[in-house]
């Protein structure tokens, strides 16, 4: 899955999000996504990650092999 496609799916779910996608291994299979969105405010880290997985629509483990997540709400 291309980094742009990952970013597009996340931004569709969280329009206010700042999304940075990094290819960790240079192989197009292992990414890190750093996502900052107001929707994460007050959510636990587990809840935040669950929201991102839902935004990816079941692509984790299939089309998208590995994605490390860093999620947070914007600084107040």
The CATH number covering residue 64 comes to 3.30.300.90
pLDDT digits (tens, 9 = 90+) for 7-46: 999 999 999 999 999 999 888 788 999 999 999 999 999 9
Q: Indicate the burial class of 12 (C-beta count within 10 angstroms; 0-12, 13-18, 19 or more).
A: exposed
Give 75's pLDDT tier (boundaries 50, 70, 90). very high
Say what the pLDDT of residue 44 is: 97
pTM: 0.89
pLDDT digits (tens, 9 = 90+) for 39-67: 999 999 999 999 999 999 888 877 787 89
Give the count of domains, the chain: 1
């Amino acid at each position: 899955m291309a980094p742009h496609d990952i970013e597009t799916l996340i931004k569709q779910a969280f329009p206010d999000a700042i999304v940075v996608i990094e290819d960790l291994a240079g192989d197009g299979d292992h990414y890190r996504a750093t996502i900052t969105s107001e929707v994460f405010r007050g959510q636990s880290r587990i809840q935040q990650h669950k929201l991102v997985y839902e935004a990816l629509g079941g692509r984790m483990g299939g089309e998208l092999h590995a994605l490390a997540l860093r999620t947070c709400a914007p600084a107040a």
